[in-house]
Amino acid sequence: MSASLPGHSAPTAGFEVPLEMLSACHRRIEQQCSTLRRLVPHLAAHGIDSEARLAAASVIRYFETAAKDHHADEEEDLFPALMESMAGSDAVCLRELTHGLAAQHRELETRWRHLRSTLERVVAKQSALLTPSDVETFVGLYEHHIEREERELLPMARRLLSEIELDRIGRAMRERREIGLEP
pLDDT in the model for residue 73: 96
Q: Which residues are within 8 A (CB) of 162 and not within 5 positions of it... i.e. 6 or more apart? A: none
Higher pLDDT, 93 or 35: 35
Task: Please report whether residue 5 resides in a domain.
Answer: no
Task: Please report whether residue 62 resides in a domain.
Answer: yes
pLDDT exceeds 50 at position 3: no
Percent of the chain clearing pLDDT 70 (strictly above) = 89
Determine the Cα–Cα distance for residues 7 and 4; give it in Å rounded to an integer: 6
pLDDT in the model for residue 6: 43
Total domains present in the chain: 1
Task: Please report whether residue 2 resides in a domain.
Answer: no
Determine the Cα–Cα distance for residues 157 and 22; give it in Å rounded to an integer: 11
pLDDT in the model for residue 25: 95
Residue 115 near residue 138, CB atoms below 8 Å: yes
Task: Please report whether residue 135 resides in a domain.
Answer: yes
Q: What is the pLDDT of residues 149-169, one digit of tens each?
A: 999 999 999 998 999 999 999
Task: Report the SS3 class of residue 14.
Answer: coil
CATH code assigned at 70:
1.20.120.520
CA neighbor of 67 nearest in space, from 100, 96, 99, 36: 36
pLDDT exceeds 50 at position 117: yes
Percent of the chain clearing pLDDT 90 (strictly above) = 78
- Residue 89: pLDDT band by 50, 70, 90 thresholds? low
* Own/partner long-range contacts of 66-72 (Cβ < 8 Å, ≥24 apart): 66/25, 66/28, 67/29, 67/32, 67/112, 69/173, 69/176, 69/177, 70/22, 70/25, 70/29, 71/105, 71/108, 71/109, 72/176
First and final CA of the chain: distance in angstroms? 42
- Residue 180: pLDDT band by 50, 70, 90 thresholds? confident
pLDDT exceeds 90 at position 123: yes
Q: What is the pLDDT of residues 101-116, one digit of tens each?
A: 999 999 999 999 999 9
Task: Report the SS3 class of residue 5.
Answer: coil
Q: What is the pLDDT of residues 8-19, one digit of tens each?
A: 344 456 788 999
Task: Please report whether residue 151 resides in a domain.
Answer: yes
Higher pLDDT, 95 or 115: 115
Residue 115 structural domain: 16-176
**How much is the pTM?**
0.86
| DSSP tag of 78 | I
HSE value, Cβ hemisphere, 13 Å, CA-based, for 178: 2
Task: Please report whether residue 9 resides in a domain.
Answer: no
pLDDT average, residue stretch 175-182: 81
Task: Please report whether residue 127 resides in a domain.
Answer: yes
State the chain's mean pLDDT as an integer: 89
